[in-house]
Amino acid sequence: MNPVRDPRADGPQRPKLRLSRGTAVAMIALGGAVIALILLQYHVNGSGPVRPWPIRPPASARVDIGVVTLPLARNSWRAWQPADLETVNAFEQTIRKHVSVVMWYADWAHKAPLLQQLEAIARRGSIPEITWEPWDSTKPVRVQPRYRLRWIIAGRYDSYIRAWAQTLAAYRKPVRLRFAQEMNGNWYPWSESANGNRSHEFVQAWRHIHDIFVAAGARNVQWIWSPAPITIRREQYPGSAYVTMVSLSIFNGGSQLRYARWRSFAAAVARPVAILHTIAPGKPIEISEIGCAEQGGSKAAWITGMFAALRRYPAIRSLVWYDLVKASDWRVESSRGAAEAYATAVASPFDR
């Protein structure tokens, strides 16, 4: 369970399981126990389901509040179950606010499009967002020849892509698709500097997929271009006609992780947001993965500062908290102070 990362990055890339079958089973069991403990704290006397937060924010609120939880992160390779959304409900009970965006992951080796998952999220009043990854997420990264960008461009995956497009079109309501995130790094097989890929192939692959979706009538899909907050390359931007929203992943690793340091949200986003404005002027921005460690400073103060800084960045319209334990405890509920700081900050009608 070692995430591959650019050492210059402020936080880990999303965790990928690379385990033997026996170890994987044990880890799944352990993860289930952890989830059960998280959920238990929101049950009355340890019984009854976790309910969503009942009050939805006003439509005038500017920033969408979102979350990805452990079961949703595992949806990349593990079949979705309706009970997975109980962890989203638990997150809402922690922050005392309705979640407007629910994100999960889907790879191209295990995950078929599932209309029931989209509809379940819609019923709870949230927008579904899918981080859609062209690889097998259970195998080592970087070198996966089966998923080279040239094969996407050549049409090898057209029937698979079309199935996704048709399912998302059938959903009819808005759905966000965050395709092949952090393409400007070197840790994923869709990077142009890895896996035998070449310059300019990322944009060609993106446009090819986008055109299939348009042909299938999937105009309800909102396309999210999500580079890593390192060197953001203009030539990897598909163009304004192919992108709805741009995004970043921001992690404050604190003193716990050897490749990270403590710095404020405002310091972390200033430069990459300015670059996004230059490359994609006028596009709204999402922070698609965000988390803060406990070690190295006050997580509660960091969260308070994050929401204060958001008011200085009107282009940032969405914030998806990475509510997982991986290399560090990024969860809002990692401490009572952090949870209370988050709940206090989002009590404002500014966030929805």
Instruction: Give the model confidence (pLDDT) of 182-225 as tens digits.
Output: 999 999 999 999 999 999 999 999 999 999 999 999 999 999 99
As given in the structure block, the two tokens for residue 249 are 């992943």
In this predicted structure, what is the pLDDT of residue 259?
A: 63
Which residues make Cβ contacts (< 8 Å) with residue 232, sequence separation at least 6? 184, 272, 275, 276, 279
Q: Please check the confidence at residue 41 and state whether its pLDDT lies above 60.
A: no
- The sign one gets for the Cα dihedral 56, 57, 59, 62 is negative
**Virtual torsion, Cα 154, 160, 162, 164, nearest 10 deg:** -140
CATH of region 21-346, choose from 3.40.50.300, 3.40.800.10, 3.20.20.80, 3.40.50.150: 3.20.20.80
List, for residues 106-156, the tens digit of each pLDDT value.
999 998 889 999 999 999 999 999 999 999 999 978 999 999 999 999 999
3-state SS, residue 121: helix
In this predicted structure, what is the pLDDT of residue 326?
A: 87
DSSP H helices, the chain, are 21-40, 70-73, 86-95, 115-123, 149-154, 158-171, 201-215, 265-279, 299-310, 336-346
Q: Considering the chain, what percentage of its residues have pLDDT values greater than 90?
A: 75
Q: Please check the confidence at residue 97 and state whether its pLDDT lies above 80.
A: yes
DSSP conformation class of 236: G
Q: Please check the confidence at residue 289 and state whether its pLDDT lies above 90.
A: yes
Q: How confident is the model at residue 313 (pLDDT cuts 50, 70, 90)?
A: very high
Which residues make Cβ contacts (< 8 Å) with residue 41, sequence separation at least 6? 90
Of 3-12, 258-267, 297-306, 336-345, the poorest mean pLDDT is in 3-12
In this predicted structure, what is the pLDDT of residue 52?
A: 76
Give yes or no for a contact between 263 and 229, defined as CB atoms under 8 angstroms apart.
no
Question: DSSP string of 164-230?
Answer: HHHHHHHH-S-EEEEES--TTSSSSTTSTTSTT--TTHHHHHHHHHHHHHHHTT-TTEEEEE---SS
pTM of the predicted protein model: 0.86
Q: Please check the confidence at residue 319 and state whether its pLDDT lies above 90.
A: yes
Q: How confident is the model at residue 51 (pLDDT cuts 50, 70, 90)?
A: confident
3-state SS, residue 349: coil
- The sign one gets for the Cα dihedral 215, 219, 221, 224 is positive
Q: Please check the confidence at residue 11 and state whether its pLDDT lies above 80.
A: no
Quote the mean pLDDT of the chain: 87
In this predicted structure, what is the pLDDT of residue 112?
A: 87
**What would the mean pLDDT of 80-106 be, rounded to a whole number?**
96
DSSP conformation class of 256: T
In this predicted structure, what is the pLDDT of residue 54?
A: 79
β-bridge partners, 322: 68
**What would the mean pLDDT of 304-328 be, rounded to a whole number?**
95
Q: How confident is the model at residue 258 (pLDDT cuts 50, 70, 90)?
A: low
What ranges do the domains of the chain cover? 21-346
Q: Please check the confidence at residue 55 and state whether its pLDDT lies above 50.
A: yes
Which residues make Cβ contacts (< 8 Å) with residue 154, sequence separation at least 6? none
- The sign one gets for the Cα dihedral 106, 110, 112, 115 is negative
In this predicted structure, what is the pLDDT of residue 136?
A: 96
Q: How confident is the model at residue 241 (pLDDT cuts 50, 70, 90)?
A: very high
